[in-house]
Amino acid sequence: MMELLTSPEAWAALLTLTALEIVLGIDNVIFLSVIVSRLPEPQAKRARQIGLALALVFRIMLLSVLVWLIGLTQPVFTVKSMGFSWRDIILIGGGLFLIAKATHEIHREMEAREEGHEDTPAPNAFFWVIVQIIIIDLVFSLDSIITAIGMAEQLEIMIAAVIIAVVVMYVSAVPVTKFVAEHPTTKMLALAFLVLIGVALVADGFQFHIPRGYIYFAITFSVAVEFFNVLAKNNRRKAAKKTREKPVRQPGG
């Protein structure tokens, strides 16, 4: 342990891997923010805590069974000279789930707006939110940890990077969730991101890798446009409020 603490290579590996884990965790934060936005705030807070705790547990569990995890990348069956491993199957299943879930949420948002009201959470909504968080945590954890295995050799560095990344995810999840809840258009944008991420996961499962840089650039650009849109909307609202509050001059006054 002391050798790792005094090794510049170990610190460089930790910083690099932590940054990568945080970037890979963006997908999880977006999904978590959207999925808990329909819950009342006390339940939403508990769902965030449970979801991110599960993400941490899954990642450390997977790191603890490295031999089994690496075995997941070995082909289990072949279709027309294309081999599929358990990792591919999990990514395809998770990607399809993400696409289906995001599409369903988009339909619900559109129907709620057309009818002029918001859906009220079902009595068992909290339970189903946790189930969905578990499914997506498993998919994202698998992808994240396999990446970590390829970048670092020491288990201690991998676990430290994962813990730091989950803490950053927890801190960022609260403002992201609040912002998504307060601005309905950003929720639609986040759902579109989830469809995009789902497509990327399915493509990875079929061994067609879409560079994540393209996806993160698209997300960053869209978020920047939405930020200026929200800023302009707030400025218009403030200007309209000042106009209403401005006293009307009486004739001859």
Average pLDDT over residues 165-180: 78
pLDDT at 116 over 60: no
pLDDT at 1 over 60: no
pLDDT at 120 over 80: no
Average pLDDT over residues 193-211: 83
Q: Which of 30-39, 64-73, 114-123, 222-231 has the highest mean pLDDT?
A: 222-231
What's the pTM value of the predicted model, to 2 decimals? 0.66
CA distances to 242, 247, 253 from 250, rounded to whole Å, are 19, 9, 5
- Mean pLDDT, rounded, of the chain: 75
pLDDT at 101 over 70: yes
Average pLDDT over residues 177-190: 74
Average pLDDT over residues 201-215: 82
So what's the pLDDT on residue 174?
Answer: 76
Q: Considering only CA atoms, give the Rg of the chain.
A: 22
CA distances to 75, 137, 140 from 59, rounded to whole Å, are 23, 9, 9
What would the DSSP string read from start to end of 128-155?
HHHHHHHHHHHHHHHHHHHHHHHH-S-H
CA distances to 89, 108, 110 from 113, rounded to whole Å, are 36, 9, 5
pLDDT at 126 over 70: yes
More confident residue, 119 or 26: 26
- Decide if 158 contacts 63 (C-beta within 8 A): yes
